[in-house]
Amino acid sequence: MSFRHRPDDAPDAVGIPPALGKAMASYRSLLDELEEGSIDDATFRRRALGVGLIVREHEAWILDLSTERWWRYDGVALSSLRFREVEG
């Protein structure tokens, strides 16, 4: 997967880690497990937290389901990306 995100006020695009696509697939699987009843709410929440936080060398990506966005924090500022932009 190769995605680029360019916030309105940023001169250069930000590389989106391939881990975001994997995290979205993992989250979909978690939802399936919850709907099937093979995991309970507490297990779902614990595992979703692990899926929705990706930390790399110089940035962190946080999945915010309430706004359907990935948030990128680079130590200075936050920028966001909607799910559909990641999923392609």
Each of the 88 residues of the chain gets a pLDDT tens digit; together they read 333 444 444 444 456 678 888 888 898 899 999 999 999 999 999 999 899 999 988 889 998 877 878 899 999 999 987 766 555 5
Count of structural domains, the chain? 1
The answer to whether position 9 is within a domain reads no
Domain containing residue 22: 16-87
- SS3 of residue 45 by DSSP: helix
CB 74 within 8 A of CB 59: yes
Beta strand extents in 1-88 (DSSP E only): 4-5, 14-15, 53-55, 60-64, 69-73, 78-82
In-domain check, residue 82? yes
d(C-alpha 3, C-alpha 21), whole Å? 10
- Overall pTM > 0.75: no
In this structure, is residue 46 part of a structural domain?
A: yes
Output the pLDDT for position 21: 81
